[in-house]
Amino acid sequence: RAYYQTSQMQYQLQPNQNQLNIVLTWTNPQGLKIEKIYQFNKADYAVHLSYVINNQSNQLWQGTFVSQLTRKDISAQTTGWFQ
């Protein structure tokens, strides 16, 4: 399982900004670097997600993209983003 790192613990879209990018980075011991970029725009509620894969090793790398979205059963007392 990949555990991504980020440069900050909190992010906030400033009044003079139209867009906020949050970059999460994971690098394996062989030098494969993956950036997961969340983009938030002031004009809408959509969250855009993109990936940058940078093979910094000297070996050929091949992969398959797999994504999963699941919903948890959340009690009525819990608040959060995705309910």
In DSSP terms, which residues pair with 36 in a beta bridge?
24, 51
Predicted confidence at residue 83, as pLDDT, reads 47
Residue 13's pLDDT is what?
Answer: 92
Q: What is the pLDDT of residues 17-44, one digit of tens each?
A: 999 999 999 999 999 999 999 999 999 9
Q: Give the angle 37-38-42 at the CA atoms, nearest 5°.
A: 135
pLDDT digits (tens, 9 = 90+) for 37-82: 999 999 999 999 999 999 999 899 898 988 888 887 766 555 555 5
DSSP symbols for 34-79 = EEEEEEEETT-S-EEEEEEEEE-SSS----------------TT--
